Structure 1
Amino acid sequence: MDRILTRLKRRKTTRDPLQETSRPLTPPQEHTNTGTGPSENPPIPSFPDGVKVLQDCPDANVDICFVHGLTGDRESTWTADGQSASWPETLLPPKLEKTRILTYGYDAYIVRKGVASSNRLIDHATNLLNDLTTDRVNAPSRPIIFVAHSLGGLVCKQAILLSRNHPETHLRDIFNCTIGIIFMGTPHRGAWMADWAKIPASALGLVKSINKSLLEILQTNDQALELIQVSFWSMIRERQKANQPPEVTCFFEELPLPGVGKVVSKESATLEGYNPITIRANHRDMVKFASAEESGFKRLLGELVRWVSQVGKEN
């Protein structure tokens, strides 16, 4: 009996290392707890999602919408190191005055209480379609150009396909008004999902990801994504034969990511028959311009100016 009591006391006072490591992990909170009691959970930090207008213009001819990938948000993805604001907000407005410049954010990777966003690709795409339609309610027929980085290009593709076949007429305006899409390091083909899953989350900036696969939030598979690719490019070819927009330009990364290599190969990021343009940077930095003199910025600006000027001629 004495032995049993001694064992029970030890269990109460000795920490079990397995129990310690099996407790659910939670990321550090970005905001302090404003509650009155110590037992209250700290508030969940907000994520910058939805549409943010970087440049408004009442008589704009075009909307330009930036869509980030899994590894960033609507502002930091497009902000170079050492800069206080993104280049779509600081460098583009002087070059494209009669445009509205928008950036779109979706909760693609933030871990809240140890659980990543459960939204699937189609959920992110549906939100993009609805949020953009709401933002453009006063000018639903205004032409729109998308600039999408990395897997944000897949969200963009899916949103356009949803718009094209949507039963509600007002949600079809996004498809009808899209005149151009710039894909930056978007994996259009190949076994990219398997390749991405092998990349350490920290290398891509997912420092808040805890015990989660990099692509788990997509909740889909290669076959479903391949169907999106086939449907999208079939639609593009169909529109081209009819001499209708959108136009497409693909940018690809020229440099490897340290310790990882090239995240999206040239073969996957470009498409035969479409203009392939290189940016001398790695996958993460290819969308971070600090100066209007950078060659990557000039190349991207050239495409935007060309498309915007075509709208001006039509009007």
Structure 2
Amino acid sequence: MATLIDNIHRRAHRVHSRFYPHHGHRHAAKDSYMTLTIRNLPLGTTENDVFEHIRRQRPDSDPIVNPLTKETNQRTLCAVVTIRQETEEKCKALRDRLNLTRIYPKHPAGDVRDSAVMVSDEFLGVTTIAEHDDPQFDMYFVHGLGGHAFKSWSTDKGAPHMWPRDFLPDDVKARPLNPMKWEGRKLAGRFATVGYRASAMFASAATATIDKISQNFLNHLRADRTEGSKRPMYFACHSLGGLVVCQALIHALSEESHRLERFQDCQSTFFNGEECLVKGIFFFGTPFEGSRLARYASRIVRFLHGNDTLIDSLSIQSEDLNTIVARFDQMRNNPRTRIPIVIAYEMQPMFGMRFVTDPDSAMSSFDCQTIGIEGDHRTMIKMEHNQDRSYRDVAEFIIRMIQRTLSGSSSIPPSPAAEFEREIFRELPFRQSIARDESPPPYQGQNSGRPSTESSASNGTSATRPSPHSQPVGLGISNSNPEENNSPGRSRSNIVPVRLNDIMMPLNRVTGGREDNREFALLSKFDVVFLLDDTGSMIEATEAAPSSNGNCETKERSKWDEMIESLRYIVDIVTHYDRDGVDVHFFCNEDKDEFGIQDGQRVLDLLTNEVSPDEIGGGTFIAERLWTILTAYIDRFENYRRRMGERAPPPEKPKMLNLIVITDGAADDKDAVEEVIVDAARRLDELRALPNQVGIQFLQIGKDEAASRWLKKLDDDLNEKHRIRDMVDTRPWDRVDEIDKSLQERLTDILLGGIDRARDME
């Protein structure tokens, strides 16, 4: 989009120059540069052979010849050459003069009689720009609307520097394949551009659609991949190029497309057995939710008799765009094709006025990492040198993605500062106690703070309550006020949440910082809403719990106590990532509902002080409260979608909804609950909402088998039975310190199960 607008400006400038040739003359550049591809070079040709051949055609051309690469499936070589002339017209004349000439290498490796070279500056199809020995992966760079496979990624001033060719390969080669073994085998890859015709000014509407471009894109990739090649693939895409790649991968990877004859051979190109060979995608300014400038650009293109169909497909509320995003997200939710992605968004408006792709549109709602880049939509991918801050950030993201997926390890090499902290941590005297006490002890019930009279009499000492976890676990730090711990009348208001620092890796307990957990960070894109069961069934005992005095005696713990225990582990995480606060609703006590709670302690105080077991009563009716929450949200989302296309500024975009229902599952209105969920799913489908726009997580308290079967039915059967989206996940609450998974993995499943389909399928 930015390139299209820039091209319109250039055409207007050329028209202006015809009538006012002296205007702006003093600002004219001294030299013009043009980068060419020279294909069909015979084997044995060297860079010096190409250099001398060009100099013979034009001695003042001053060519820059990059290392030659072998053309895929051909016994020829390809050269990428930059020439310099006084004017652009002279560059074009030299290009035409070089075309179909013959280069005779000094040391030929084959017959050169029919080796007329083909010279072009269009970079159509796949062009290898850099290649290491024995490459382990292929990385493709895809330009956007009206862009160019080489120029879009290179600088504009002077001799062009193209960071995917000039900087990134060197940085990749300097890093190890296994991020944990710096002295081991180094990374090695092949870097290529993919060029396609996507000019809205000249292309016809019949051929320049996202679907048609993506099919041609697939043809380019299939022709480029050697027969039987199983090298992993990575993509870096700018603007429209990201949508082209998404649509191409939908055709190539989705099971529905494999039934079509024209896509059947994609199986061998993109899969190695059951392994998907697409290992990562880096999106630069891709308008997943459309661009506000598309409406204005479409009018200009229509006036110039160009292809406005392609521009309209990038507008807000475009059906084509919504379909691509929804199907791509659905494909990524399949464990077989769960492709890691990173989204980069522009941080400066185009021409200082408007964003071509708003940050919200670029980041969309995908489960991924995001990064802001200094620059507008066009300059965000033009890195001038290898010490540019934006380039360093982008290169690090790309390299770590490659390391993580190629090495088969999810660990990322720590920064030097983190490694230094880790070395300090190894020397700390309490390191072993931290390792032994990985998770905090659970809450033991509403009377856990009261000493046992019998045990006190038997041993002559007073029983003390374990210190709350306001301090890191395992450091041996006790409560500063021991008398408060021994207070027999201590209320449950002193129950504190398990802090996020206690859940993350032990290193953070030393530094006091918080690990930026990529999976928990997905919660920042959602409004988290709790719907809590405060009905009479929650008074019932769930299981015997150990006595707080440490003896072997046991006492009953109610479902209400177990729900408080579950919230102790959850509330600090969600309030940390949902910065505008979480909402808490109750089945019965609607007057106790609170909104925008930003402190996990407040959630626990609400349950321990203001909604007590004594106030609980009535049957377990979920449908009405569920309907109220879902309807209010979907109405707000529908209003936003309806007003997006209007001239007036649309209302604030609602975040996606993560509804967590904590209940024993013994509902008295099961059929009504199913109807509410089905109705909400159908409304979201009609609005073409993203697959994870709304997620519902049922967290079961207790071990009622009949309730478990009903909740499992909500999770597994509703989407198939009613042909609706799968927006429900159900999980039982178990003691997190008594299961095989780590504490962090367990809580991740609970908090993301309703909004991450891949976790729902586990």
TM-score range, shorter chain: 0.7 to 0.9
Shift of 1:56: 2.3
Cross-structure match for 2:323? 227
The 1:124/1:179 distance shift into structure 2, 3 A limit, reads same
Amino acid at match of 1:246: I
Cross-structure match for 1:257? 350
Cross-structure match for 1:132? 221
Do 1:62 and 1:99's aligned partners in 2 also have CA atoms closer than 8 Å? Answer: yes
- Pairing 1:138-153 to 2, within 5 Å after superposition: 138=227, 140-153=229-242
Shift of 1:200: 8.5
Measure the CA separation in 1 of the matches of 2:299 and 2:134.
43
Unaligned runs of 5+ in 2: 1-17, 19-87, 97-119, 174-187, 410-762
1:36-57: per-residue Cα shift (whole Å, max 9, x none)?
xxxxxxxxx9733100001123
Secondary structure of 2:407 counterpart: helix
Measure the CA separation in 2 of the matches of 1:99 and 1:139.
17
Which of 231, 241, 265 aligns to 1:170? It is: 265
Which of 238, 243, 246 aligns to 2:334? It is: 238
Measure the CA separation in 1 of the matches of 2:303 and 2:193.
27
The 1:238/1:115 distance shift into structure 2, 3 A limit, reads closer
Shift of 1:127: 1.2
Cross-structure match for 1:158? 247
Shift of 1:110: 7.1
* Number of residue pairs aligned between Structure 1 and Structure 2: 267
Cross-structure match for 1:179? 279
1:200-234: per-residue Cα shift (whole Å, max 9, x none)?
999xxx9xx98145753468581122111100011
- Please give the TM-score of this superposition, normalised by the length of structure 2: 0.32
Measure the CA separation in 1 of the matches of 2:308 and 2:389.
31
Shift of 1:174: 3.0
The 1:62/1:227 distance shift into structure 2, 3 A limit, reads same
Cross-structure match for 1:57? 132
Do 1:256 and 1:283's aligned partners in 2 also have CA atoms closer than 8 Å? Answer: yes
- Pairing 1:53-132 to 2, within 5 Å after superposition: 53-82=128-157, 83-97=159-173, 98-109=188-199, 118-132=207-221
Secondary structure of 1:123 counterpart: helix
Secondary structure of 2:169 counterpart: coil
Secondary structure of 1:154 counterpart: helix
Amino acid at match of 2:339: P
1:294 maps onto 2:392 in alignment:
no
1:146-166: per-residue Cα shift (whole Å, max 9, x none)?
100011111010010110133
Shift of 1:271: 3.2
The 1:170/1:80 distance shift into structure 2, 3 A limit, reads same
Measure the CA separation in 2 of the matches of 1:178 and 1:245.
9
Measure the CA separation in 2 of the matches of 1:230 and 1:111.
29
Measure the CA separation in 1 of the matches of 2:282 and 2:303.
32
Which of 293, 296, 299 aligns to 1:198? It is: 296
The 1:117/1:102 distance shift into structure 2, 3 A limit, reads farther
Shift of 1:111: 5.0
Secondary structure of 2:323 counterpart: helix
Secondary structure of 2:139 counterpart: strand
Do 2:145 and 2:200's aligned partners in 1 also have CA atoms closer than 8 Å? Answer: no
Measure the CA separation in 1 of the matches of 2:126 and 2:206.
18
1:306 maps onto 2:382 in alignment:
no
Do 1:125 and 1:156's aligned partners in 2 also have CA atoms closer than 8 Å? Answer: yes
Shift of 1:265: 0.6
Secondary structure of 2:207 counterpart: coil
Shift of 1:118: 3.5
The 1:245/1:48 distance shift into structure 2, 3 A limit, reads same
Cross-structure match for 2:340? 247
Percent identity, aligned pairs only?
25
Measure the CA separation in 2 of the matches of 1:53 and 1:234.
32
Amino acid at match of 1:229: V
Do 2:342 and 2:368's aligned partners in 1 also have CA atoms closer than 8 Å? Answer: yes
Cα RMSD of the aligned pairs, angstroms, is: 3.3
Shift of 1:261: 1.1
Shift of 1:314: 3.4
1:7-34: per-residue Cα shift (whole Å, max 9, x none)?
xxxxxxxxxxxxxxxxxxxxx99767x9
Secondary structure of 1:246 counterpart: coil
Bigger radius of gyration among the two:
2
Shift of 1:84: 2.0
Secondary structure of 1:264 counterpart: coil
Q: With CA pairs under 8 Å and 6+ residues apart, which has the higher RCO, 1 or 2?
A: 1
Unaligned runs of 5+ in 1: 1-27, 35-44
Shift of 1:85: 3.8
Cross-structure match for 2:288? 188
1:48-79: per-residue Cα shift (whole Å, max 9, x none)?
31000011235111111000001311000000
Amino acid at match of 2:341: V
Measure the CA separation in 1 of the matches of 2:329 and 2:133.
34
The 1:279/1:47 distance shift into structure 2, 3 A limit, reads same
Measure the CA separation in 2 of the matches of 1:215 and 1:89.
33
Amino acid at match of 1:102: A
Secondary structure of 1:160 counterpart: helix
Measure the CA separation in 2 of the matches of 1:263 and 1:220.
14
Cross-structure match for 1:48? 123
Do 2:207 and 2:213's aligned partners in 1 also have CA atoms closer than 8 Å? Answer: no
Shift of 1:117: 8.1
Amino acid at match of 2:210: L
- Please give the TM-score of this superposition, normalised by the length of structure 1: 0.74
1:135-188: per-residue Cα shift (whole Å, max 9, x none)?
112453211111000111110100101101335553233362111011100011
Shift of 1:259: 5.5
Cross-structure match for 1:276? 370
1:77-114: per-residue Cα shift (whole Å, max 9, x none)?
000122424211111111123110010111111755x9
Do 2:143 and 2:239's aligned partners in 1 also have CA atoms closer than 8 Å? Answer: yes
Deviates more, 1:148-157 or 1:159-168: 159-168
Measure the CA separation in 2 of the matches of 1:134 and 1:283.
31
Measure the CA separation in 1 of the matches of 2:229 and 2:278.
11
Do 1:117 and 1:217's aligned partners in 2 also have CA atoms closer than 8 Å? Answer: no
Measure the CA separation in 2 of the matches of 1:136 and 1:298.
29
